[in-house]
Amino acid sequence: MHGKKITAAVAAGVLLLSACSSSKSKSGGNSGSAAGSSGASGAPSGVPDPGAQPKSKVKAATLSGDCAPFGAYGSYPGKTVTMYASITDPEGGYLKQSWKKFESCTGITIQYVADKEFETAIKTKVEGGNAPDIAIFPQPGLLQTFATSGKLKPATDAVTKAAEGNWTKDWIAYATVDGQFFGAPMGANAKSLIWYSPKSFKKYGYTVPSTWDELLKLSDKMVADGHKPWCAGIESGTATGWVLTDWMEELMLRLHGPDVYDKWVKHQIPFNDPQVADVIKMVGQILKNPKYVNAGIGDIKSIATTAFQKGGLPIEKGQCQLHAQASFYGSNWDKGYTVKPDGDLFAFYEPPISDKFGKPVEGGGEFVGAFTDRPEVEAVQLYLASGDWATARAKVHSGWVSANQKVDKAAFTDPVDALSVQLLTDPKATFRFDGSDAMPASVGAGTFWTQMTKWILGQDDKTTLDKVEASWPK
């Protein structure tokens, strides 16, 4: 999913979460250890062992005036913390604005460097003994790889407690390896959205569906009314095909639930398992249905050659009614169209197939890990794990959201941002990270993309799944 962000950010100059980073390359997704795996300590999956986390080195300081709230992080005049990430400008600039007050009050200078080649370059830096103090990891698998190698420092007990208090267990599990927690989540993005036109729905008397069956019935009603309901595009340069992996992930989570989803991602069931075959068949019921697609663009095969940024644009002119895409897609709409619940454009939650698995939500985000354990480094980690920082970042600029339970939701003035935060922080939500980002990169950012592209061009289901399965590293 990370690779997707980059393109969205470059195309629109705005990144939203999934797009939270301007580097959207999906490399580095090979997890060295399964997220949330339990280790010798016997800690349950996804739950850090408190006894395994290092003690906090941060000592609170008494600060005055409007700096008083920052006293909990201590005082470190003249200290510098280096930070390395893939989040380039303009998003990187918004990040730097978000911690200015923290810097001035604590005395810490955060030396931020962004690199679009982060996933490759961070490995070179660490192996060469030039690791940053803090890295913002766009994929949990990459963080887990460094954690497993012993290069990444476990989060302290204070950072662990802050993270556990501010995020759901699903999020904590992605940064937990063998019972130890390594980094608090940061930004997030909601993928489980379907964009539509409220004005068009009102015109034709359509209502937002609350179940998958209702979504299909709505699609059929649109066909009966003379519309081709769905529009899509998956072209994304060397990352062409990632959009279809999102479709697969969304329906895997909804049809078979989180346990099977996790087994699929970890290859505990083969990629051509009958349960996976069920999912690709369901995706095909929409995207390979000539009555449903590709409204305002062309035939089924046009999906493969349509840039993902342009896949939903026919909605603007009423040529299309439905477009499945993440929250960051909002940066691609043309100027002059209102995005709000009663406007030209908006999004609704991609409905569940049944009520067996709660409220499935797929998304992505970043995690803050540290390669050094100085007190000022921990202080930065603690601040970035807080609801105060998440609120500060949300106030800087729209197009960014967080799953931090303590964030002030009133700070999200953009209606799609607000909807995304509502989904990501819903206690009933069953959250799972973008599955292909957690698969080995040769699959998740390789054959999964390419074979799904061949699939939309006419390759059959079985051949597609068999070829991805055959590519899985032995």
pLDDT in tens, 244-294: 999 999 999 999 999 999 999 999 999 999 999 999 999 999 999 999 999
Is 193-360+436-471 the same fold as 2-190+364-412?
A: yes
What is the pLDDT, as a whole number, of residue 425? 87
Mean pLDDT of the chain: 89
Write out residues in the chain with pLDDT < 70, as ranges: 1-47, 49-51
Closest CA relative to residue 232, chosen from 125, 329, 99: 329
pLDDT at 113: 97
pLDDT of residue 24: 36
Output the pLDDT for position 114: 94
Parse the chain into domains and list their residue ranges. 2-190+364-412, 193-360+436-471
CATH topology of domain 2-190+364-412: D-Maltodextrin-Binding Protein; domain 2 (3.40.190)
Fold of 193-360+436-471: D-Maltodextrin-Binding Protein; domain 2 (3.40.190)
d(CA 94, CA 385): 17
